[in-house]
């Protein structure tokens, strides 16, 4: 087994750097960590085994494609941030902005269900046998806890702990990458890489890729940090968050599919826990801790954000408490009517609609400013619509 000492050392060094180094306290890093933590969230632990099972040796290329699509939509939002102070030219821009806000609110609802369903799965992943629907009951219980906290205005204390949670999660991911790197190094000279044969990505597999968009989503949070950071800082931080997350994702997927045997069928939501048992005995509990903290903090953040958004969109006809109740009710309904992979596909479609509307808004603004880039933004709006219509769940 891989030496536990080096994994814990990598975790400790990463946690120290993320929490106490000089650069970790800089304004740019403070602005970067919010979108970075959102991008490298729950989907990080799912996407590696899923891509490996469906795409084999093509997985790094597929991961790069997903990151490229996300970067394109990120460019749209960065353009919107840069020109957010520009006055709306006509009613169409107001309508696009309003409708995209509703789309984001709906995406928040689905993403909370996505986070908490993963929470339920990972919470039980270390047990060999559990009763049927146990994870759904765990998820339902956590939804109730979040509703009680939100109803009693208890989110503020949890939000203050979010930075610690984010640092722990990123430190665990750093430890995972170090573990996979040395594991790969110890096997490359004797066994060599595993080159799982698979067909090149086809049209059907492209639709599966679209259904995983939510696993690289989260960069849009930079657009809504205007109360804390200026436009230039938010643009730079979003760009850095996407560069860092794309590098981590591609390295992680490459090491995983090249050196860890992944079953071609029967891959479940917590497959990474099973796979990492063969790398190091300390990794599964570390990953479970990281997954649980990441899922819960992300769910709280999106519940708070979604609740506030619905209050604003309904001109306070729906109160904060009522919005939490609606969000929790829909989330519980999704939990009992769908599996995790289906919810991932729903969330990907919802965010694709939001990105398509934002791209259409950027295209309209660029066209009004007589900038040729409006053609690129219009193409991204069309891509968002295609993803929303054809993105499918991993079976």
Question: What pLDDT score was predicted for residue 239?
Answer: 95
| Confidence class for position 356, pLDDT limits 50, 70, 90 | very high
Between the CA of residue 39 and those of 134, 218, 220, 243, what are the distances in Å? Answer: 28, 5, 9, 11
Whole-structure pTM value? 0.88
Q: Are 341 and 387 in contact (CB under 8 A)?
A: no
**Res. 27 pLDDT band, cuts 50 70 90:** confident
d(CA 223, CA 74): 10
pLDDT of residue 153: 64
Judge whether 383 and 69 are in contact, CB under 8 Å.
Answer: yes
Instruction: For the beta carbon of residue 301, count every other beta carbon within 10 angstroms.
Output: 24
pLDDT band at 236 (very low <50, low <70, confident <90, very high): very high
What is the mean predicted confidence (pLDDT) over 217-245?
87
How far apart CA 277 and CA 270 sit, in angstroms, is: 12
d(CA 200, CA 305): 40
Question: Quick one: pLDDT at residue 163?
Answer: 67
Contact 131, 154 (CB under 8 A): no
Q: What would the mean pLDDT of 327-333 be, rounded to a whole number?
A: 91
pLDDT of residue 357: 93
Chain centre to alpha carbon of residue 278 = 26
Q: Yes or no: say if 361 and 93 are a contact pair by the CB < 8 Å rule.
A: yes
Tokens, residue 121: 């799965």
Rounded-to-integer distance, Cα 108 and Cα 101, Å: 10
Buried residues in 191-230 as b, exposed as e (16+ CB within 10 A): eeebebebeebeeebbbbbbbbbbbbbbbbbbbbbeeebe
- Give the pair of three-digit tokens for residue 287: 């990953």
Look at residue 39 in the predicted model and tell me its pLDDT: 84
Report the phi/psi class of residue 133: left, alpha or beta, with left for phi > 0 and alpha for psi in -120 to 50.
left
Report DSSP state, residue 40. Answer: S
Q: What percent of the chain has pLDDT over 70?
A: 91
Give the separation between CA 112 and CA 323, rounded to whole angstroms.
13
Of the segments 90-99, 190-199, 239-248, 313-322, which one has the largest average pLDDT value? Answer: 239-248
Q: Give, in degrees to the nearest 5, the angle at Cα 155 between 153 and 161.
A: 150
The segment with the largest mean pLDDT, out of 130-134, 266-270, 314-318, 364-368, is 364-368
CB–CB of 54/61 below 8 Å? no
Task: Tell whether the model's pLDDT for residue 2 goes beyond 60.
Answer: no
pLDDT higher than 90, residue 243:
yes
Distances (CA, A) of 234 to 28, 31, 35, 166, 241: 8, 7, 10, 18, 10
**350 neighbors 110 (Cβ within 8 angstroms):** yes
At residue 225, the 3 state secondary structure works out as coil
Name the fold adopted by 4-83+90-390: Amino acid/polyamine transporter I (1.20.1740)
Q: What mean pLDDT is reported for the chain? A: 84
How do the domains of the chain map onto residue ranges?
A: 4-83+90-390
- The pLDDT-based confidence of 67 (bands split at 50, 70, 90) is very high
Residue 150 has pLDDT above 90, yes or no: no
pLDDT of residue 335: 92
Local structure of residue 200 (DSSP, 8 states): P
More reliable by pLDDT, 86 or 74: 74
CA distance 358 to 377: 9
For 189-210, what is each residue's pLDDT tens digit? 666 677 666 666 666 778 888 8
Confidence band for 161, pLDDT divided at 50, 70 and 90: low
């Amino acid at each position: 087994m891989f030496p536990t000492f080096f994994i814990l050392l990598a975790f400790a060094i990463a946690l120290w750097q993320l929490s106490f180094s000089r650069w970790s306290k800089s304004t740019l890093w403070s602005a970067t960590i919010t979108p970075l933590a959102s991008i490298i969230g729950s989907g990080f632990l799912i996407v590696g085994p899923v891509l490996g099972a469906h795409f084999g040796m093509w997985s790094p290329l597929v991961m790069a494609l997903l990151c490229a699509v996300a970067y394109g939509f990120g460019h749209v939002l960065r353009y919107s941030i840069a020109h957010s102070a520009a006055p709306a030219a006509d009613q169409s821009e107001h309508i696009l902005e309003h409708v995209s806000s509703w789309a984001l609110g709906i995406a928040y609802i689905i993403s909370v269900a996505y986070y908490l369903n993963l929470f339920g799965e990972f919470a039980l992943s270390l047990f060999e046998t559990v009763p049927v629907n146990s994870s759904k009951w765990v998820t339902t219980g956590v939804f109730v806890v979040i509703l009680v906290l939100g109803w009693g205005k208890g989110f503020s204390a949890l939000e203050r702990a979010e930075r610690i949670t984010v640092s722990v999660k990123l430190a665990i991911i750093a430890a995972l990458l170090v573990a996979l790197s040395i594991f790969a190094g110890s096997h490359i000279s004797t066994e060599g890489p595993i080159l799982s044969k698979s067909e090149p990505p086809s049209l059907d597999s492209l639709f599966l890729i679209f259904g995983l968009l939510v696993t690289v989503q989260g960069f849009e949070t930079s657009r809504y940090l205007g109360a804390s950071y200026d436009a230039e800082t938010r643009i730079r931080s979003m760009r850095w968050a996407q560069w860092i997350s794309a590098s981590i994702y591609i390295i992680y997927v490459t090491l995983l599919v090249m050196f860890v045997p992944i079953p071609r069928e029967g891959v479940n939501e917590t497959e990474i826990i099973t796979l990492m048992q063969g790398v190091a005995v300390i990794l599964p509990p570390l990953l479970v801790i990281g997954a649980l903290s990441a899922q819960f903090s992300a769910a709280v953040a999106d519940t708070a954000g979604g609740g506030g958004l619905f209050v604003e969109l309904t001109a306070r006809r729906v109160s904060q408490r009522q919005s939490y109740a609606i969000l929790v009710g829909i989330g519980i309904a999704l939990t009992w009517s769908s599996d995790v992979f289906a919810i991932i596909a729903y969330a990907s479609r919802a965010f694709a609609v939001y990105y398509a509307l934002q791209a259409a808004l950027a295209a309209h603004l660029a066209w009004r400013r007589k900038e040729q880039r409006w053609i690129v933004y219009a193409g991204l709006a069309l891509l968002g619509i295609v993803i929303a219509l054809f993105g499918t769940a991993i079976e």
